[in-house]
Structure 1
Amino acid sequence: MLFSCVLDLARRKIVGWALGNRPTADLACKALRMAIEKEKPAEGLIHHSDRGSQYTSHKYKDLLKEHNILGSMSRKGNPYDNAPMESFFRLLKVEHVKKRSFATQGQAAASIEAWISYYNTRRRHSALGGISPLCYEIRRNSPFNLSA
């Protein structure tokens, strides 16, 4: 089972995801469509990915173009460019997936969806000053935010 997701880097929030059996353009597009539908990004958003074939496909690039999203890719042979996403996948595996077994893909999807909800609403992130993505978002959007 494979997982594709979209991370909002500023908020460290997972905004789109999909499960599948192979790393296909369809799987990546499904995760991106979820993110676009939920977040309704402004034109000119920069979307970063690694150089996997699913992200270099015409299908994926066309979806980005359709929504006026600018694609950005890691430099060849440089895994550090995509470090925040790799860090998320490590957390997902260590904190959740490796502690469980799933009988069906549906069962896995429901369990991972619940963990993503936890990740987005309650899990603290050092990159956000020790608060959750939800708390960060609330503070950022507060009319009393003096740092904005």
Structure 2
Amino acid sequence: GSQFRSRKFLRALARHRMVGSMGRVGSSGDNAAMESFFALLQKNVLNRRSWTAREQLRIAIVTWIERTYHRRRRQARLGRLTPIEFETIMNTTVALAA
């Protein structure tokens, strides 16, 4: 994370009127979950082959997220359900309550 606190990086953020999203270690703003997601994305999509067109890469990323990450990856915070299973349960519960 130190590269994101460097003067050069902070100047680039300011030049483009952007705000960095770095929080303190262990804080609720900690980005460990996103780092884990991007590590999986890089391992499963980006490093698998070289991409000649941006659109091909975009389709590969969306496909991986929708077919693999959301449908197969069980998440502890969702009670070991996949996001799709969790959403289905929640939508059914809301529909029954209405």
1:83/1:101 CA distance change after superposition, 3 Å: same
More helix by share: 2
- Structural RMSD (CA): 2.9
Of 76, 87, 90, 1:137 maps to 87
Where does structure 1 lack aligned partners over 5 or more consecutive residues? Answer: 1-52, 58-72
Partners of 1:96 and 1:79 in 2: CA distance: 29
Tell me the SS of whatever aligns to 2:51. coil
Of 38, 50, 53, 1:104 maps to 53
Partners of 1:107 and 1:132 in 2: CA distance: 26
- 2:19 corresponds to which letter in structure 1? T
What is the percentage of aligned positions where both structures have the same residue? Answer: 33
Name the residue aligned to 1:91: 40
Name the residue aligned to 1:30: none
Which runs of at least 4 in structure 1 moved beyond 3 Å after TM superposition?
none
Partners of 2:91 and 2:82 in 1: CA distance: 14
Name the residue aligned to 1:126: 76
More strand by share: 1
Partners of 1:55 and 1:120 in 2: CA distance: 30
Partners of 2:51 and 2:35 in 1: CA distance: 23
**Deviation for aligned residue 1:79:** 7.4
**Deviation for aligned residue 1:55:** 5.1
Higher RCO (CA < 8 A, seq sep 6+): 1
Q: Give TM-score scaled by structure 1 length.
A: 0.43
* Segment of structure 1 superposing worse, 124-133 or 107-116: 124-133
1:79/1:113 CA distance change after superposition, 3 Å: farther
Q: Give TM-score scaled by structure 2 length.
A: 0.60
Larger Rg: 2
Name the residue aligned to 2:9: none
